[in-house]
Amino acid sequence: MGKDNKLHIILLGRRNSGKSSLINALTGQNIAIVSDVAGTTTDLVKRSYEIPDFASVIFIDTAGIDDTGALGEMRVEKTRNAI
Ligand SMILES: Nc1nc2c(ncn2[C@@H]2O[C@H](COP(=O)(O)OP(=O)(O)O)[C@@H](O)[C@H]2O)c(=O)[nH]1
Ligand SMILES: [Mg+2]
């Protein structure tokens, strides 16, 4: 199966809801920056991940869907495009 046919798992939620922490915990890698500052994740973070005994999937970490301001709206737009 080609890369684009892989299952994509996209993490959606408000800022500071723990999306980046979850992707780091699931993959056991420090892929996405985690902090208590809302709006830490800006660009999409995409990572291939092999779920043991299941399949190779692609995780996509996103900025909060509640991000505000001019830059925030651009981030939300990027998230919508990813969906
Ligand atoms: N108490 C608690 N804090 C968490 C949990 N998951 C994440 N956090 C904290 O919540 C804050 C935001 O986490 P982050 O993963 O950056 O959220 P994101 O903005 O949705 O990516 C960080 O300070 C994390 O350490 C959790 O399950 N429990
Ligand atoms: Mg984040």
Domain ranges of the chain: 3-82
Residue 3 has pLDDT above 80, yes or no: no
pLDDT above 90: percentage of residues in the chain: 55
Question: Is 40 a pocket residue for ligand 1 (Cβ < 6 Å)?
Answer: yes
> Three-state SS for 11?
strand
Summary mean pLDDT of the chain:
88
The backbone region for 22, taken as left when phi is positive above 0, alpha when psi lies in -120 to 50, beta otherwise, is: alpha
Residue 1 has pLDDT above 50, yes or no: no
**Higher pLDDT, residue 31 or 81:** 81
CATH of domain 3-82: 3.40.50.300
> Among the atoms of ligand 1, which is closest to the Cα of residue 14?
20
pLDDT digits (tens, 9 = 90+) for 16-49: 999 999 999 988 888 778 888 888 878 888 888 8
The whole-number pLDDT of residue 32 equals: 79
Indicate the Cα dihedral angle 34, 53, 60, 23, nearest 10°. Answer: -10
